[in-house]
Structure 1
Amino acid sequence: MPLTVRDLLAIPSLHLALAAGGKGLSRTVEAAYASEVTRPSAWMEGGEVVMTTALLLGADPQDHAAYVDDLSRARAAALVLGLGPSLPLQHVPAALGDLAEQCGLPLLTIPEGVPPAAVTKAVFDARAAEERRLLERTLRTQRRLTAAAASGDGLDGLLRAWHLATGMAAVVCDVLGRPLAGVGTQAPTVLAQAAEILEAVALRGLRGSAGGDIPSGRVQVQPLGAARLRGFVLLLGTDSTESRLLSSVLVSLLSVELERRHLADEPERRRRAALLARLFAGDLAAGHAEALLKSVGLGTGPIRAVAIQAQPGPPPGAARAEGSNRREDVLALAADLALAVPGGLVRVIGTTVEAVLPEGTDVTSLLTRFAPGRPAGIGPAVTPQHAALTLRQAIALLPASVELARPVMATEAGSVRLLLSLGSPAVLAAFADTALAPLDTADGDGELIETLRVWLETNGSWAETSALLGLHRHTVQNRIAKIAKLTGRQMERCEDRVDLWLALQAREQATGH
């Protein structure tokens, strides 16, 4: 246990006596030093026992009040006042004792014959002994944790050994926050209560860790894994020096265990990749395709394929040689997705990761979490026997995703907006101006442009355009005739109508409205 003022007072050889401030005897002592300055806080870090003869303090109660206040603000552990015939004071000034009592600052006296160095040495020896005891306890606990890791009991064995040694509740979860193992009566509630802290750590991967207060107490969240994030451990309890030392050991052993589990899961990932290859074969009957999905715990509802172009390069915070670890990075991405997607149907083809997801899966969140910044095509939802079709469309969308620097969904593939989004604002503006410049010049109030837009959107309906614009039919016809004359377009020709409509869409895309 840490050295307290009460422990220091109990050392017989120091001949210390309590004069005031008994409420603060449980304060932890970090150091001890002698000082005669009247404002010692500038030299303090907190937890010090300050020894003085009050040589410069004087007898003014206001000076005493300022001195005690300075020690209190500096979080002093205690004040030791030297008394004796040849010292400035032979007894404790009443004002000084009253002030120390009021603020709970232990005021001790020490006789003239005991040197201040004896107090300093006693504090040093006690702290050194405590550090030795802490080190011995830590080594014993480390041996227990290591033995648990070698026992083959996995995560449960490690957490039981931790709880037995520290009494702290702990929970291990995977990268999605799903519980893998827990120990302690509060373990079942920790994950839900610490969701925000866990999410903050997850955003930083292996570089992140955080602590905070939750209804169950103080929680520490640490990432687990070697080269890649494999999960998290949440430790509930006091953030003591001993727990910090031991938690680093626990994190290392848990990381090794999760890496072992990852390697042990490789045959299952290969089996599911083989199932996915059969699903993508394209010649399956409906019943066979549904049976494949059921074998991995999925229903028989609509599915969609996702194709992700895995790019070479180091993950955040790591240095990788380009090319040499490219395959490793692709496989690691596939393994992450196999853990995250329902059913785990994921495979690697070259540098592309392909997966099948149930229709209701939040694909955007999934890609943001596990494949940020990577090109991705998202196929349409289809019945299971048409998995090959959704995969072909997902792969076909990868070039557009590369250009747009974002995932692209199949619902966008037939959209003119997707086509227009591939061009830069300057190119789109130039295309629009080329077609619409004659109207811009002759149409100061924008009437012709607006009439053209509504007429094209109503497929050239005179009656509907008139109703929407609140104009007479002949007015609309005159405006369209004027547009044809200004632009040199034949409005009955499909090609000319398409050109003008694309020009309007391009201008909207370029300007954002």
Structure 2
Amino acid sequence: MEPAPAPTLRTLLGHPELRLSLVTAEDALPEGALELPVRWVHSSDLVDPTPFLADDLLLLTTGSQFAERDEAGVTAYVARLVRRGVRALGFGSGVHRLGPPDELVTACVEAGLALFDVPYDIPFLAIARAHAEAMAAHAYARRTWALEVQRALAVAALRPRGLEATLAELARRLGCWVGLFDSSGAIAQEHPEPLPHGGEAVADAVAELLARGTTASRSLDGPDRTVTLFTFGRSGQLKGVIGVDLSPIDAEARAVITTAIAMAGLSLEQSEQLARGRRRMHTQLLASLRADDPALARRTLGALPPAPMLVAVAVGAPVDAVVGWFERQRAVGGTVSFVAEDADGLTICLGSSSRALLDQVSERFGIRMGVSEPAEYREFAHAHAQAMSALQRSGGDGVIEYHDVGSGGVLDALVSSETRTLARTRLAPLRAHDATAGYELERTLRVWLEHDAHSEQTAAALGIHRHTLRTRIAQAAALLGSDLTSFPARAELWATLRAAG
């Protein structure tokens, strides 16, 4: 744990050799006034010493500046000290008068300023020296504590789960909450327990820091806590954010936190190197699975998602973030998954009972993915082809089921952007004629083919005479340069019309 806090007014009053006595009743002071740290001790008999004072100090005076019964002047004097941030006022008794004047005692009580009496035989220098020695001892204890904690963090980093052990040790040594957010802004670790409240504001601040992409820190002040956030990693390549629920953070605590941040960055860098090697291995295992041979993957990984399984393929997905997300699902919920990247995109394999995770990851990272029907591992290649087909044949967002896009038949499955362009080019003369002449040759052909080229049924469906129908069919055949009396020509025309849309 941390050493004792910095010397306070109560610490100074506790020195028996100084024999200092509090004049202002403690219950008349603001709560905790005697526990506030005192930076330094200064002496002055000026009417207005505030231009020469620093914050959080203790002022000593002999009272020579006070005129007899100048109540207004004394009140103004005390008010100036309070505004300047003076912690307490010590009155040197016996130099000009025995004990502080009543006007000063009253003014200090009304202003909530601690007033204490300094015996005549105690020099101000002795008080300043006692406080300086206490400050030096505290500074030495803090530096010793910081070195000890840094050594403890280094030892923790060598444990099997080094990053987790390091952050747990940091939380224990600082006696506060410590959280780790990954590069996506998700909370990855919390020690010793989750932040009780205010987590949403902290998460929003983390997202803002990561969006900037530069190394930075930020403090969030709440009603009962101050959470300080520190990014780690290089600018443009941030690895995440570490949050600490600690205030104030002095130089020693900041040095300890900086050490933990450096170790976290090193640990994640090593983890990323291992992850890159693991991704290369998974790519090779994916090739084996796509050959419908799961034996190598089972021997290497020890376990695959239970069959029947689903295969999903996503293009343009943030690989590291998605892999990390599924690893957390396995650590938290025990869900076994297989994620690998190859030239076709990111392949995700899950047991069919874990289908809902695909919706979650798609929504979280804003990615499109095609999903196969449930299959056994001996059908992995077929399932992968289904997922690719679902992704390519649908322009929708989110998770696209092969079952939903595979019901259009073989002709729809053959349609691609190249086929669609070719079909529209083939029909361009027909559409141009319809646009200028006001005819409906394309619609006539569609209805004619839908009625198996029966003239009377088609004419009735279109509401025209059968001779008009024959004329339109002949015109369309001439524009297309095709003999529509043969079945192959009619079949090709039907495929063209379906592809053109």
TM-score normalised according to structure 1 size: 0.57
Q: Per the alignment, in what secondary structure is the counterpart of residue 232 of structure 1?
A: strand
Cα separation, 2, equivalents of 1:63 and 1:97:
13
Q: Per the alignment, in what secondary structure is the counterpart of residue 172 of structure 1?
A: strand
Cα separation, 2, equivalents of 1:412 and 1:365:
29
Residues 23 and 116 of structure 2 are in contact (CA less than 8 Å); yes or no, is this contact kept in structure 1? yes
Q: Per the alignment, in what secondary structure is the counterpart of residue 223 of structure 1?
A: strand
Who is 1:77 aligned against? Answer: 87
Measured at CA, do residues 215 and 259 of structure 1 come closer, stay the same or move farther in structure 2, by a change above 3 Å?
A: farther
Who is 1:385 aligned against? Answer: 385
Amino acid in the other structure paired with 1:185: E
Measured at CA, do residues 274 and 239 of structure 1 come closer, stay the same or move farther in structure 2, by a change above 3 Å?
A: farther
Superposition deviation, residue 38 in structure 1: 2.1
The count of corresponding residues between Structure 1 and Structure 2 is 357
Q: Per the alignment, in what secondary structure is the counterpart of residue 14 of structure 1?
A: coil
- Which of 97, 122, 145 is residue 137 of structure 1 equivalent to? 145
Who is 1:15 aligned against? Answer: 19
Measured at CA, do residues 171 and 114 of structure 1 come closer, stay the same or move farther in structure 2, by a change above 3 Å?
A: same
- Which of 271, 275, 293 is residue 265 of structure 1 equivalent to? 275
Amino acid in the other structure paired with 1:79: L
Cα separation, 2, equivalents of 1:413 and 1:199:
41
Cα separation, 1, equivalents of 2:194 and 2:103:
49
Q: Per the alignment, in what secondary structure is the counterpart of residue 47 of structure 2?
A: coil
Measured at CA, do residues 146 and 35 of structure 1 come closer, stay the same or move farther in structure 2, by a change above 3 Å?
A: same
Who is 2:263 aligned against? Answer: 253
Residues 370 and 388 of structure 2 are in contact (CA less than 8 Å); yes or no, is this contact kept in structure 1? no
RMSD of the TM alignment (CA)?
4.5
- Which of 77, 102, 118 is residue 67 of structure 1 equivalent to? 77
Who is 2:124 aligned against? Answer: 116
Matches within 5 A, 1:197-236: 197-205=205-213, 207-213=215-221, 217-225=225-233, 228-236=237-245
- Which of 10, 13, 35 is residue 6 of structure 1 equivalent to? 10
Cα separation, 1, equivalents of 2:222 and 2:282:
39
Superposition deviation, residue 232 in structure 1: 2.4
Measured at CA, do residues 215 and 113 of structure 1 come closer, stay the same or move farther in structure 2, by a change above 3 Å?
A: closer
Residues 337 and 346 of structure 1 are in contact (CA less than 8 Å); yes or no, is this contact kept in structure 2? no
2:99 is the counterpart of 1:91: yes
Amino acid in the other structure paired with 2:116: L
Cα separation, 1, equivalents of 2:224 and 2:71:
46
Superposition deviation, residue 257 in structure 1: 1.9
Q: Which runs of 5+ in 1 are unaligned?
A: 288-293, 308-332, 368-377, 394-410, 415-455, 463-513
Q: Could you say which structure has the larger radius of gyration?
A: 2
Superposition deviation, residue 8 in structure 1: 1.0
Amino acid in the other structure paired with 2:67: G
Matches within 5 A, 1:144-293: 144-187=152-195, 191-192=199-200, 194-205=202-213, 207-213=215-221, 217-225=225-233, 228-241=237-250, 242-274=252-284
Superposition deviation, residue 201 in structure 1: 2.0
Cα separation, 1, equivalents of 2:134 and 2:92:
22
Q: Which runs of 5+ in 2 are unaligned?
A: 295-302, 328-337, 349-356, 373-383, 394-415, 420-431, 439-501
Who is 1:48 aligned against? Answer: 57
Greater shift, 110-119 or 74-83, is seen at 110-119
Who is 1:31 aligned against? Answer: 40
**Superimposed CA distance per residue, residues 31-79 of structure 1 (whole angstroms, 9 cap, x where no aligned partner):** 1111222222323332111112232332311111111111111121111
Residues 312 and 369 of structure 2 are in contact (CA less than 8 Å); yes or no, is this contact kept in structure 1? no
Matches within 5 A, 1:292-441: 300=310, 303-306=313-316, 335=320, 339=324, 345-346=340-341, 355=346, 384-385=384-385
Superposition deviation, residue 133 in structure 1: 0.9
Superposition deviation, residue 277 in structure 1: 7.0
TM-score normalised according to structure 2 size: 0.59
Measured at CA, do residues 305 and 164 of structure 1 come closer, stay the same or move farther in structure 2, by a change above 3 Å?
A: closer
Q: Per the alignment, in what secondary structure is the counterpart of residue 151 of structure 1?
A: coil
Measured at CA, do residues 135 and 273 of structure 1 come closer, stay the same or move farther in structure 2, by a change above 3 Å?
A: same
